Amino acid sequence: MPAKRDLLSMLDVREDLVGLLEFATNLKNRTKAGEPYEPLRGRSLAMIFEKASTRTRVSFEVGMTQLGGHALFLSPDDLQIGRGETIADTARVLSRYVDGIVYRAFKNENVRELAKHATVPVINGLDDREHPCQIITDLFTIQEHKGALPGKRLAYVGDGNNVCNSLLLGCAIAGMHVSAGVPKGYEPDASLLAAAKRIGKETGAEIAVVHDPFDAVERTDVVYTDVWVSMGMEKEREERERTFLPFQVNGKLVKAAGKDAIVMHCLPAHRGLEITDDVIDGPQSVVFDQAENRLHAQKAILARFLAGV
């Protein structure tokens, strides 16, 4: 048997990102044509979700079904992990039952601990450091709407959070220029930013962090934003909303980016905060195409990591 592969970071798909995006395109076309494709028939996926989810849960569950397999949703209340069983023991036990594990966690170190002790592939469904499945979807969506990725420009506006971290890495791997417009004190993870810059030197991608959203969106092909207050940060809500208000993606900012720029948001959107109704529902928005593509990208991830397709 080939060694198991985990998807914990965008760095884990550095060598085959192009192929994975092509695979997602193929699977989307097959789905639209009504052609069955079931490489995971008879296989099971455990989904451990410490955080609430709409897109990640539904896309993995439906995707697993469409690929012929079965998904089992597990909240902390369903597991002994919430009552003192170690992550390592949970990993060892689940590995005896299922063919892969998706883990949506509060802490990156917990995802890595699970992967260390699991003997089946572990997929990071989101943690406090990265969100690789989302960014694979995003790059797939950009490719659909803007064509070949190398040389394209993406502006991320908002909080230097897990999505921003993975975007920096993903864009660098894809050869895309990326500018993160964030308030001072809310910059992306320094080590991942440094890694993105190192990769960018190899792929020709320019990676920058700026503190003016209008500087970030200048001459960009994509304007991307995310929530200002992530789960677990509720105590910071008022301060964050004040700090991030100048970074709202509104009509004025999108106009500065240009009429050919597309607008993206990984959802859920807090309308009237990080993005306005006229933008998310406007002609430049591809937000709901992006949401749909979670299904197709997730299927590519599942087939690639669980079956080696």
Whether residue 131 lies in the annotated active site: yes
β-partners of residue 264 are 224
Q: Which of 87, 100, 85 is nearest to 46 (CA)?
A: 100
Whether residue 104 lies in the annotated active site: yes
Q: For residue 227, give Cα distances in angstroms to 41, 80, 137, 210, 244.
A: 37, 32, 18, 18, 10
The letter for the amino acid at 309 is V
Cα-Cα-Cα-Cα torsion 156, 171, 132, 51, nearest 10 degrees, comes to 0
CA distance 77 to 212: 43
Question: Which member of 99, 143, 226, 284 is catalytic?
Answer: 226
Question: Which member of 128, 129, 134, 240 is catalytic?
Answer: 134
Whether residue 281 lies in the annotated active site: no
Question: Which member of 57, 104, 240, 265 is catalytic?
Answer: 104
Q: Provide the 8-state DSSP code for 206.
A: -
Question: Which member of 43, 55, 131, 240 is catalytic?
Answer: 131
Whether residue 266 lies in the annotated active site: yes
Question: Which member of 266, 284, 290, 304 is catalytic?
Answer: 266
CA distance 247 to 181: 8
* Strands laid side by side in the 177-181 sheet: 207-210, 177-181, 153-157, 222-225, 262-265
Active-site residues, by number, are 104, 131, 134, 226, 266, 294
